[in-house]
Structure formats: C-alpha cells, structure tokens
C-alpha cells in the first residue's frame, strides 16, 4: 500500500531517515507521518547492504552449520529490510502516487536480485542442506522442523540445485517476472481510474436511489464537474448496475470494467502472456511439468489432478443450478419488457429487481441497518464474545492517511495483542477490493520478547455524504467480517518465527479463518446485538433477517459457477506447456466456456485485470477460495451444533488454527480442531446444492 507522502527534506529534524532508525513510536508502529517519498530509496539501499552483510556472515561462519547459526540466523536476517518493505509495498497499494510506483519499479529488481543471491549461493545452500540432512538427529520441535523444512525448500524450489547456466536463466526470469507482476497491478489501477461516466442530464439517473445520486454528485464535485459521476470503484459502479434503468449506460460501464487493461494506455494483454510463459519456464527449469504442479506441491491440495477433480466435482453440482438461475432471471426480465436475452450488463439490474419482488429484499432495504460504525461495533463484539478481545481506538497513533482508524487490541488477560489499522474508503490512490495485510508479523525476538503484530484492513466501502453516514450493503458488511477473520489470524498468532506466524500458511488454508467469519452475518443472535436502523434505532427486524436467510442461496448456482470460472481460468494459464500464441480473449473463453451462463462478450476479458493471479499470490491457487469454503462450512457446523458464541469451540479454533500460523501441517491443525477431516456435506447444504 502507499502512503500520503508530503514533499520535504530527505531526513527528519534530527537529520535521520526515519525508516533507518528504530521506530520511536507507541508500540513500535511505523512513523507514517515522518516518512517522505525521498526516504525510500536511501532506506532500501542501506537495508539491502545490511541484509547482504548479515547473510555473508552466516555463509562465512567458521563454525560447523547448526540449526541456530544457519537456519535461525537466516530467519533473523534482513529484519530492517523487511520492515521497510512492509511499509513501502503496503502503502503502494493503499495510497500510491506516480513517484511511489516509479520507486517500486526501481526497487523490485534489487530485491529480486538480493533474494536470488541468497538462494543461489552454493556455500549458503550447502550449510542449509547439511542441517537439513541431520534433521532426524537434532531433537527439534515441530515448529523448528517446519522452519528447517521451509528454509531448505526455499533454496531448492528457487534454483539452488540448478547448474550455473540454469541459475543465470533463473535470475533473468525471476527479475523480469518481478517487474511484470508489478506493472500488471499498476496498469489495473491506472485503467480503473481512467474511466468515469459523466452524467449531466437528470434523466440519466432514472432508477438510482437517492444515496447513489448524492454520492455521484459528490464525486463530480470532487472532480470540479457539473452533474454526476459514476466510477469503476465498486461502491459507485455496483449500485449503478443494480438500479440504473438506462440499459445503454449499464452496458457502457460493464464493458469498461470488464475490459480494463485490455488495450489502450494501460494494456496488460502481452503482460498476461509473458507472465504465464515465464512461470512455465521457471517450472521447467526446476523440473516440474507445469507451473501449477510447482505451486501445488506446497498447497493442501498437493497436485493439479486433485485441484481439477475438486473443481469438476463442484462444477457438476453447480451448473444445473446456475443454468436454472439464468433461465429464471431471463424469463423474469422478458416479463418486465426486455426484448432480448439477459446480457451480463443486465444481470445485476434484473436479479436485484427479482430479489426485491420475490424475497421483498434489496440492498437499499438492508443498508440502513448496516451503518459502518455499527458494523465495526458488531465485528469487535464478535471477537470479544468468541475470544475475549477488546479494541480501544487511539487517534494519536501515527497513520498514513486521515481516513485511517487505529486501534489497540487487548487479550482477555489485558495484555497487548496487536495494533489494528482500518482504512475503509475508496480513493484514486488505492487499488480496488478489500484485503488484510501486516506492517509487522508476530514473532519472538532473540531476547525472548514476544513482538506483537501490526495488522491492517484495507477496504473500498461507500463513503458518507453530507447528509448520510456510510451505509454498507449486506455484501460489504460480510466482506469486512471476512477480512477481519484474516486480521484475527494475524493478531492471535503465537509463534516463534516470523515466517511461520499469522497468515503465513498454505494458500488453500489461509481463507478458512476469513470465510468462517462470514457465517455469523445471517445469525439473528449476532445481528440483534448491533444491527439497528441508523435513523430510528430500530433493531433489524426478525422478518428481514428471515428474508436474508431465505435469499441466502438466491443465485447460489450462478455465484458458484462464477467463482469456478475464475479457478478454471487460473489453472488454464498455469498449466500451459508452450507459450500462448492465440489472443487471450479466445484462450480465456475456452477456459471459462463450461462455466458460462450469460452470453459471452468478445470485446472484454477478465484476465487482463485478474490481479489475484497476475499481481498477487494466488497463481494456481484461486481454487483455494472454494476449497476453504468447504472447510469453513464444515467448521461452522460445529458452532451451529454447540452454539454460535460457544467459547469452548472458539478457544479450540484459536488454539489449533488461529494461533498456529504455518507451524504445522494445516490438515493436522484442522483435524485437531474438528476431530476429523472435513467433508463437503455442510458446504453443499449451505449452498443449496444438495
């Protein structure tokens, strides 16, 4: 993410670069308000030099390699660099600028070079290998064995065993990949910000709720324009697609969103092909048939066959329901006067109308009960009921933007657990979506001190206006609970080694804590504690909750088919065995065809903005969302059986999952919590796909 950086001198008043000094702040959080853009490059240069010296000392240690002087020493090396990188790259996502993006392009190759120099150093690898080969005689704890295993695989899976010629090729590929994935994300942000729909005729607002019109007017005012502006930011675009009666304008906005970075100034077309090709070449160098096989070796699923069978199993269940969903909506739309089949830009509009008519439910009916402040109160209350946590807002803590809120988080015994930042609202300098990240992970330092984490939640929710507070949709409220689940995974961590704590787990396991939290959003016992009308104070009515529950599986088949289409597209790009020569629209179409419900639109392409896999950590791993849904449904069934606030079940989940991070095999952790391996029964039942 990025920060608001003010122009100024390179150093603070004492002449120091704040990134190179110990963070003299409450709880050691980053001194955001002291940091300027010009601090970053000097800080990175110094920290990279320091990291190189630390690693060089490990490699040249005259003592025989041991777990402590090699494996733990490597784990502890580069801490200053890690802290600087956490600040810079987190802020480059949440508050970026042209200068920050340029710094990222300059710094990323240097970091890749450093990492390559470490893992491709034959002397260092020999020390790691020596310890690894003696692992059975070292009397290591399970956590220490996991750290050793991870350290050894870090070298092997990143080319340590390659010939000198192949090491050179690996260096070149990894450097290019680092630059391309960074550029991909920058292009998506640029393309998202480049489009806006400027409306000057009030007739173009037909169907839009007053809150949407007010928000569009404020967006126009912020741009010094008359009238109203709709952007591709989700809080602006989604309600427009749901309520606008102007089909031609819905089509324009939909095509703009689904054609982001497809041609034009921010074109990602060749970046997609090149990233996929380079990943294929990495896999081949390391002896894997495809990049997916390389990635999945370190996932719960284990291999491509398991993932493909999993996706096909869900697809077989979901597609009959998905087709039925489309037929239902298509019939309804035609009865409403649509003179053609429902197109993708019609979907949100007619499904919202259908939901309102058949379930007496709409986003505008539920929004008044999900005032942002109350949603926040509710999620903090849930953490208190389950885990005994207390959240105290501290406005005095350093922040990187005025919108950000900062909280001290305390455990049930009143000990400090973490610092939590929450950044709720969209802006041009922030990428879209919602995510959790950390400015510092939990670990135990060399003096035995438990260093607590600094966690951040970043969202893009509807901003308050002059007359209306921020009112979330049900989906947005569910989203913040999801990201809060990730935050709990980070905050409740209790481990020794930073690389094994918090969310540092296998990617098809990391979504379990987050998706589990979503389940409480349809529980009356939970909603009754905080969900009240922002104007009248009325508790959310039981009959409205009943309608939410009744509509929970509305379009479940379609929703599942959509998620599966992303998973299949991800797998298609990462199981190639030759560079993709065809145009990416046709490549993507073939990957998605068996999941398609609405008609295809040949002028759009999802891959060019698929940041999860081309700019994030989900390459060959997007299936993990559905994988984790099976886990979370199975896990929540135990809460349903014992009580949704049952402290014994919650404590077991905390002890066996949330606090363990990646210190043990995730299936072992899950079985310890659940008493058995997960089944798909609860998932299919909850999804209405029985």
Q: Which positions are annotated as active-site residues?
A: 483
C-alpha span between 601 and 386 (Å, rounded)? 46
407 within 8 A of 568, measured Cβ to Cβ: no
Q: Which residue in this structure is represented by tokens 């199975």? A: 634
C-alpha span between 418 and 689 (Å, rounded)? 40
Tokens representing 530? 């905080």
Residue 147 main-chain phi, psi, to 5 deg: -65, -45
C-alpha span between 167 and 512 (Å, rounded)? 37
Give, in degrees to the nearest 5, the angle at Cα 171 between 166 and 176.
125
C-alpha span between 658 and 647 (Å, rounded)? 14
577 within 8 A of 280, measured Cβ to Cβ: yes
Tokens representing 426? 């969209």
C-alpha span between 359 and 545 (Å, rounded)? 11
75 within 8 A of 498, measured Cβ to Cβ: yes
For residue 324, CA distances in Å to 319, 555, 567, 594 come to 8, 9, 22, 15
C-alpha span between 193 and 374 (Å, rounded)? 30
For residue 105, CA distances in Å to 109, 130, 155 come to 7, 37, 25
Q: Three-state DSSP class for 407? A: strand
* 42 class by beta-carbon count within 10 Å (0-12 exposed, 13-18 middle, 19+ buried): middle
Q: Where are the alpha helices (DSSP H) in 72-121?
A: 73-76, 79-94, 98-119
Q: At what angle do helices 98-119 and 164-194 cross, to 10 degrees?
A: 160
C-alpha span between 521 and 530 (Å, rounded)? 11
C-alpha span between 27 and 454 (Å, rounded)? 9
* 553 class by beta-carbon count within 10 Å (0-12 exposed, 13-18 middle, 19+ buried): middle
DSSP 270-292: HHHHHHHHHHHHHHHHTT-SSHH
C-alpha span between 364 and 189 (Å, rounded)? 29
For residue 394, CA distances in Å to 93, 398, 417 come to 24, 9, 15
- Count Cβ neighbours within 10 Å for each residue of 526-542 and write b for 16 or more, e otherwise: bbebbbbebeeeebbee
Q: Which of 479, 535, 470 is nearest to 211 (CA)?
A: 470
């Amino acid at each position: 993410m990025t920060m608001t950086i003010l122009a100024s001198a390179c150093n603070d008043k004492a002449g120091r670069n704040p990134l190179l000094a110990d963070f003299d702040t409450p709880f050691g959080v980053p001194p955001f308000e002291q940091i300027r853009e010009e601090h970053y490059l000097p800080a990175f240069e110094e920290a990279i030099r320091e990291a190189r010296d630390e690693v060089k000392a490990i490699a040249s240690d005259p003592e025989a390699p041991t777990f402590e002087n090699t494996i733990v020493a490597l784990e502890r090396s580069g801490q200053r660099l890690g802290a600087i990188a956490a600040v810079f790259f987190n802020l480059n996502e949440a508050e970026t600028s042209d200068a920050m993006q340029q710094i990222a392009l300059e710094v990323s190759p240097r970091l890749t070079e450093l990492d390559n120099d470490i893992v491709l150093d034959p002397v260092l690898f020999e020390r790691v290998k020596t310890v690894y080969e003696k692992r059975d005689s070292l009397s290591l704890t399970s956590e220490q064995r996991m750290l050793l295993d991870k350290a050894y695989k870090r070298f092997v899976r990143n080319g340590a065993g390659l010939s000198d010629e192949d090491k050179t090729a690996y260096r070149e590929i990894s450097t290019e990949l680092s630059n391309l994935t960074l550029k991909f994300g920058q292009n998506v942000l640029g393309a998202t910000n480049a489009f806006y729909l400027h409306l000057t005729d009030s007739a173009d607002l037909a169907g839009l709720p007053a809150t949407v019109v007010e928000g569009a007017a404020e967006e126009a005012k912020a741009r010094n324009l008359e009238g109203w502006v709709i952007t591709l930011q989700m809080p602006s675009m989604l309600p427009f697609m749901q309520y606008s009666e102007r089909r031609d304008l819905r089509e324009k906005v939909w095509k703009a969103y689904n054609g982001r970075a497809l041609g034009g100034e921010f074109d990602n077309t060749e970046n997609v092909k090149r990233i996929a090709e380079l990943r294929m070449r990495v896999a081949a160098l390391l002896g894997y048939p495809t990049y997916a096989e390389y990635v999945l070796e370190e996932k719960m699923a284990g291999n491509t066959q398991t993932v493909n069978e999993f996706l096909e199993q869900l697809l077989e269940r979901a597609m009959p329901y998905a087709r039925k969903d489309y037929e239902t909506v298509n019939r309804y739309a035609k009865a409403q006067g649509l003179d053609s089949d429902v197109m993708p830009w019609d979907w949100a509009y007619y499904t919202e109308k259908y939901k309102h008519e058949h379930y007496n439910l709409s986003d505008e009916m539920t929004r008044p009960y999900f005032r942002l402040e109350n949603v926040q109160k509710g999620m903090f209350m849930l953490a208190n009921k389950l885990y005994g946590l207390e959240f105290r807002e501290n406005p005095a803590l350093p922040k990187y933007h005025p919108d950000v809120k900062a909280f001290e988080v305390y455990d049930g015994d009143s000990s400090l657990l973490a610092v939590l930042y929450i950044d709720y609202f969209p802006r041009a300098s922030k990428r879209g979506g919602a995510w959790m990240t950390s400015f510092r992970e939990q670990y135990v330092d060399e003096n035995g001190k438990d260093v607590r984490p600094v966690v951040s939640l970043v969202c893009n929710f509807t901003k308050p206006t002059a007359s209306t507070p921020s009112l979330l949709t049900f989906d947005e409220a569910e989203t913040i609970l999801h990201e809060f689940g990730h935050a709990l995974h980070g905050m409740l961590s209790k481990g020794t080694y930073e690389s094994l704590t918090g969310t540092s787990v296998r990617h098809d396991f990391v979504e379990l804590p987050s998706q589990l939290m979503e389940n409480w959003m349809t529980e009356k016992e939970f909603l009754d504690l905080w969900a009240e009308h922002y104007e009248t104070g009325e508790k959310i009515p039981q009959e409205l909750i009943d309608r939410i529950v009744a509509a929970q599986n509305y379009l479940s088949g379609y929703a599942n088919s959509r998620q599966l289409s992303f998973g299949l597209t991800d797998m298609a790009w990462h199981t190639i065995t030759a560079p993709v020569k065809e145009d990416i629209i046709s490549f993507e179409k073939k990957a998605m065809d068996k999941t398609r419900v609405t008609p295809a639109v040949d002028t759009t392409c999802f891959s060019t903005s698929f940041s999860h896999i081309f700019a994030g950590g989900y390459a060959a791993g997007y299936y993990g969302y559905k994988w984790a849904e099976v886990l979370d449904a199975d896990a929540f069934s135990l809460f349903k059986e014992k009580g949704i606030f049952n402290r014994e079940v919650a404590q077991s989940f905390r002890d066996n999952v949330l606090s363990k991070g990646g210190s043990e095999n995730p299936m072992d952790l899950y079985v310890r919590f659940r008493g058995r391996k997960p089944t798909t029964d609860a998932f299919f039942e909850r999804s209405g796909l029985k």
